[in-house]
Structure 1
Amino acid sequence: MAEKKVSVAERLYSGHLSYDFMKARKGWFIFSGALVALTILIVVLRGLTLGIEFRGGTDFQAPMTIETTTVDDVRSHLNELTVQDLEAQVFSLGTSNIRVQTRSLTPDEITTTRAEIATLAGVEPAEVTYNSIGASWGKQITERAAVALVVFLGLVMLLIAVYFRDWKMSISAIVAVLHDLVVTVGVYAAVGFTVTPATVIAVLTILGYSLYDTVVVFDKIRENTAGLEQTDRTYSYEANRAVNQVLVRSLNTTVIGVIPVLALFIAGTSLQSDPLADLGLALLVGMIAGAYSSLFIAAPLLAWLREREPKMVEHRAQIEHRRARAAAKAAYRDSVAAAAGPVAERAAVVGEPGARQPRRTNVSRADRKKGK
């Protein structure tokens, strides 16, 4: 009968195949800390390229047939305009409109720039629409976004603490979320993408995705560690088993989610549409970082925090004591067996007491006289 093949997922779930996330957590913590430090350094040195929605400016839109080189051509001609230092950003809106965003302009500068953009697009100045966004409005939006993020993180911590009845899970989840946020922002600073409202939407989306992945892992950990004090297994062991059990599910979810996001990012860059590219990049980086943080940061950090609790320290000490006693008994039995073996062999040879004698058979006297 052919042996039944066991899938990798089944082997991970049953524990026959596993990776020790908890044992290697120090290395992953160092790697994650170095990555966060690097991204913060990039943000400090290069800064973020903020859209006019956050820094204020003037937005021009003109009808224009978009081809492969249209955006680059318009961008190169902006240096030849009358108004200098426009700090302009150019991208397409669909296939029939061009968008130019500049710094805040005076009324005279708006009139001049509008006419010259119309000339580049081959239309009348009246067909070029514009909208001025004040810097104070952008500052207000930025402050409200920061407040909303803080409130969001606070509510998430409270919800996780109430649901799991464990505030250490809240801390671990928020650390993982902040890791994803910092890494995403650092990538934006490194590649020079513009931070727009689409970026904010993407960041909020990846925060939710990261939390979902982490909560799935935590729920399995809670299930595995129920009644832990009555077993000979530690919290780290059960946490590691839980991570391995949900590993395939987490990877499958990430791959399925990343594929359409990658397509969105490629479409945005190929069509030279900054909003699509901004949204796609933030989602792509955030989803990958979220899957990583839930497995390599949140769960190991939770196990490290729980193992430091007095009752868990006592439980581990009891386990080690029982294992030491069992090992001592096994060693004693082995030594007794090893010592008894040679003694029995010698006794069998020289007839020493304790040697096993041949079994006597009942032979009659008459048979012995006959030599039988």
Structure 2
Amino acid sequence: MSLALTNYFPDSTSIPFIKARFAAFGFSVLMILASIAAFFSMGLNFGIDFTGGVTLEVRTEAEIDAARIDEMRGVLNNLGLGAIELQGLSELTEGSECYGNHCALIRVQPQEGEGLEAEVAQQEANLAVQAALTELYPDIEYRSVQVLGPKVSGELVQAGIMSIVTALVLMLVYIWFRFEWQYSVGAVVALIHDVIITIGMFSVTQLEFNLSTIAAILTIVGYSMNDTVVVYDRIREKIRKFKKKSLDEVLNLAINKTLSRTILTSLTTLVALFSLWLLGGAALQGFAFAMIFGIVVGTYSSIFVAAPILMLTNVKREASEA
């Protein structure tokens, strides 16, 4: 597929990417500030992985329409378990179990208590919800049930944060040894840029932020780093070859030489991700959407953030020749 698509791209372009670096930096700073503001003002819509509580995915033979959702909500609210959220689910694939609005997702807030008491309270809440729903709809099926106490969810939050921080640090070390410190600064700034803006997107959209989202962010970090390394490799090659050209000319030349590869890789990846988003069901939609957004942001940062930063760090030609 990539070989066929290559015929539609010119062998060499001459787009002045570096000339637009100040506009790109301004746009990136604006997006980062907006993401930080959204995070602190709106927060994240944490899933059960991080908050604890009970999540059930149920299915009934009859369609779960708005009236049935209201009926279920009324019964569950009488259980005195605190805030309960209900959301109808419908998979797009005809023949699937949820096709035609036959499924619903139910979330019950974490129950009060500490230690073993809290764990027991979550289990009792789960049993109470299932008993009430089974009495209301004898044909109801429980496709999945998750019960997490606050201790486990708190540990998952810490593990998620540590995994992202560890990935960024290891990427910094890799680039430092792979290239020079000027390159490592640009690569890590681009990665932090991608992570902050992706988290900001989750704050604005209030999509559920769970363990699959952490997996998506880590994948985005790896994808963006791979894109950046390809560009940096070509930059180092051109710096060695064209010693009399100015640095901005060399950077433009290197970016343009890798442009067709960058576009084709991103497009083919996005085709797979859009299929996953449309056909993968509710469980994979958050992961797929985060990946789609992250691929777009990562491609942008490789061209407009990571490469132009070398103008600010004043990468040395003699270092590139080492």
TM range (shorter): 0.7 to 0.9
1:114 aligned to 130, 140, 155, which one? Answer: 130
Is the CA contact (8 Å cut-off) linking 1:104 and 1:132 kept in structure 2?
Answer: no
1:306 is matched with which residue: 297, 300, 314? 314
2:155 aligned with 1:158: no
Shift of 1:140: 0.7
Aligned counterpart in structure 1 of residue 150 of structure 2, from 112, 123, 135:
135
Residue equivalent to 2:264: 252
Contact 2:56 2:143 in 1 (8 A): yes
- Match of 2:288? 280
Q: Distance in 2 between matches of 1:226 and 1:128?
A: 60
The AA in structure 1 aligned to 2:260 is V
What are the residue-to-residue correspondences of 1:185-334 with 2, within 5 Å?
Answer: 185-226=199-240, 231-268=243-280, 273-306=281-314
* Structure 1 residue 20, shift from structure 2 partner: 1.6
Question: Per the alignment, in what secondary structure is the counterpart of residue 59 of structure 1?
Answer: strand
Residue of structure 2 equivalent to 1:318? none
Match 1:20 to one of 4, 8, 16: 16
Q: Distance in 2 between matches of 1:66 and 1:264?
A: 27
Distance in 2 (CA, whole Å) between partners of 1:71 and 1:258 is: 33
Secondary structure class of the residue paired with 1:123: coil
Which one-letter code corresponds to 2:218 in the other structure?
L
1:76 and 2:70 are equivalent in the alignment: yes
Q: For the Cα contact (< 8 Å) 2:12–2:256, is it kept in 1?
A: no
Which structure is richer in relative contact order (CA contacts within 8 A, separation 6 or more)? 2
Counterpart amino acid of 2:264? Answer: N
- For residues 212 and 292 of structure 1, what CA distance do their matches in structure 2 show? 13
1:43–1:185 Cα contact (<8 Å) kept: yes
The 8 Å contact of residues 196 and 275 in structure 1, kept in 2 or not, is answered as no
SS at match of 1:88: strand
Q: Of 48, 59, 69, which aligns to 2:44?
A: 48
Distance 1:227 1:157 in 2: 26
Following TM superposition, by how much is the alpha carbon of 1:11 offset from its aligned partner in structure 2, in angstroms? 3.0
Query: What does residue 331 of structure 1 align with?
Result: none
Q: Secondary structure at the match of 1:9?
A: coil
Q: Do structure 1's residue 101 and structure 2's residue 97 form an aligned pair? A: no
Q: Is the 8 A contact 1:9 1:245 kept in 2?
A: no
Residue 147 of structure 1 aligns with which residue?
A: 162
Q: 1:62 to 1:79 in 2, by over 3 A?
A: closer
Contact 2:86 2:104 in 1 (8 A): no
Displacement of 1:301 after TM fit? 0.7
User: Structure 1 residues 197, 71: CA separation in 2 closer, same or farther (over 3 Å shift)?
Assistant: farther
- How far residue 64 of structure 1 moved from its aligned partner, in angstroms, is 2.8
Distance in 2 separating the partners of 1:215 and 1:71: 50
Q: How many residues align?
A: 291
Q: Which amino acid aligns with 1:275?
A: A
Shift of 1:47: 0.9
Cα deviation digits, residues 166-213 of structure 1 (max 9, x gap)? 012111111111111111111112111111222111111111111111
Distance 1:47 1:227, change over 3 A: same
Question: Take 2:18 and 2:273, find their aligned partners in 1: how far apart are those partners?
Answer: 31
- AA aligned to 2:287 is L
Task: Report if the CA contact (8 A) 1:74-1:90 is conserved.
Answer: no
Task: Give the distance between the partners of 1:108 and 1:99, measured in 2 at CA.
Answer: 19
What does residue 357 of structure 1 align with?
Answer: none
Task: Give me the identity figure in percent.
Answer: 25
Matching residue's letter, 2:109:
R
The CA distance in 2 between the partners of 1:75 and 1:185, in whole Å, is 31
Q: Deviations over 1:269-319 (max 9, x none)?
A: xxxx43221011101100000100000100001232126x6989xxxxxxx
Q: Could you list the runs of 5+ residues in structure 2 that have no partner in the other structure?
A: 1-6, 112-120
Name the amino acid aligned to 1:88.
E
Cα-Cα RMSD: 2.8
Who wins on radius of gyration, i.e. which is larger?
1
Q: Distance in 2 between matches of 1:10 and 1:239?
A: 17
Q: 1:219 to 1:311 in 2, by over 3 A?
A: closer
Read off the aligned partner of 1:21 and give its amino acid letter.
Answer: F
Question: What is the CA-CA distance between 1:71 and the residue it aligns to?
Answer: 7.1
- With normalisation by structure 1, the TM-score equals 0.70
- Identify which range, 113-122 or 298-307, moves more after superposition: 113-122
Alpha-carbon displacement from aligned partner over 1:8-51 (angstroms, at most 9, x marks no partner) = 52232xxxxx1222222111100111011112211211111111
Between the aligned partners of 2:210 and 2:257, the Cα distance in structure 1 is: 38
Q: Which residue of 1 aligns with 2:54?
A: 58
2:253 partner letter? R
Q: Structure 2 CA distance, aligned partners of 1:73 and 1:246?
A: 55
